Amino acid sequence: MQLLLACSEELARRHAADLGSEGWNVVVAHDVPTALMQAHRVGPDVVAVAARLPGGDGATLVSRLRHLAATSLTPVLGLADGADGQQALYEAGAQRCLDAEAAPGELAAAARTLTLRATADPGPAQAAPPSHAGGSPSPPAPATGALTGQDTLSGGGRVMVVEDDASVRGLLIQTLELEGYVVVGFEAAGRGLDAALARPPDVLLLDVMLPDMSGLELLRRLRESEAGSEVPVLLISALDDATVVEGLRQGAQDYIRKPFDIDEVLARVAAAVQAKQARDRLRGHVDELENRALSDRLTGLPNRRAAEQDLERFAAQTARLDGQLSLLALEVDDYEQLAADHGRDAADRMVVALASRLAATCRTADVLARWSERIFVVLLPWTGSEGAGQAAVRIRGAVAAAGIRRPDGAHASVTVGAATMRESTRQLLVDAEAALRSAAHAASSHTAG
């Protein structure tokens, strides 16, 4: 029979020998973090918890034990000096409490009674303390469900744990899951690195000492990658300050020393996740503003600024790879006159319909943008003058076939000018405008004739 005894060294010396003589295999822990790790590792038949512990009070430990899968139904026996300490242990989920000064034999007998009761009634543990005179504490209903009060930390992020000690890894995973996090765990650094690069977590809890590579090496590789460059990393280490300092230099956000306080871990994880999510929201807001700055408000197409950026990018690519780049300038016929006669809104509705038709006609590799109120441009990468001429004919025909109505009832049309880059993007734009004016002049002459 396994008994986990979480208490001071003095109480452990007082009770351990007697418990051993009664057939108990006693595992001792002197603080909350060690007790939690030992509970997860050994799966005790009963836990005896003192009200006062280094690294947290006994009630905190009992509450944590009640919400870990390995110990959720494990009988808990409390040791406290007074009524207040016993009441706190009962409220946290202890089934029975003894005075901290109880004789060694009393602890062994009470532990045996609790295990027999648990065997007879395998359902949820029920608090059933003995009667006491003088207004001693009464047990509350058993603690179930989520943690409450100050034990609750906001979750909602995705946490990765890379830790080779199975008991520590399991404790971290279960505790974080209880706080609402989605948690994945790995024993080996290599598998953890692959998973972090494939799907970066909101925070990575990383042990420094790992079997296949050090945690610092994993951190270095993560920071060298685009996917993992901004993943918050919390180092878990029992090593010296120099190792911690090196980890911080390589990009770790913080560190946690072993043996750790589980509440400290939860607080640091919550802070890291919240900071990561705040940065993501800010980045999303900035991206949205940038997209708005590069988009035409009426049609949703890229605007002139965006088209100029794409044009420079295509031009640099063309020069580097010895390719060809062409541009079409498309002017909406009679736009200004139609807006003056029938209103800007009516003219804009026609422009929106034209933009939709043009987008459906262009190739996937082409870039369609609204250059001004009445002019669209189409960037044609890897296209020479012959291809540009063919694209102009195709687009003009597609617009004519669409039958889009102008505000005056006639069919909307566009005039197209095509140019191929010879010297620079500036010259390309000059050539396209000249071609557009030439096409407009030809169309006007044809109409007049």
Average pLDDT over residues 24-48: 85
Say whether pLDDT at 449 is over 60.
no
Residues in Cβ contact with 189 at an 8 Å cutoff, skipping those fewer than 6 apart: 162, 210, 211, 212, 213, 214, 215, 217, 218
- Smallest Cα–Cα separation from 56: which of 26, 83, 78, 34? 34
Tell me 93's DSSP state: T
Confidence of residue 8 (pLDDT cuts 50, 70, 90): confident
Q: How many CB atoms lie within 10 A of CB 166?
A: 12
Confidence of residue 133 (pLDDT cuts 50, 70, 90): very low
Q: Which domains are seen in the chain, by residue range?
A: 2-120 (3.40.50.2300), 152-287 (3.40.50.2300), 304-448 (3.30.70.270)
H or E stretch covering 375: strand 375-381
Q: Lowest-confidence range among 83-92, 125-134, 145-154?
A: 145-154
H helices of 67-103, in order, are: 83-92
H or E stretch covering 407: none
262-286 residue pLDDT tens = 888 888 888 888 888 888 887 777 7
220-259 residue pLDDT tens = 998 888 888 888 998 888 766 777 788 888 888 788 887 7
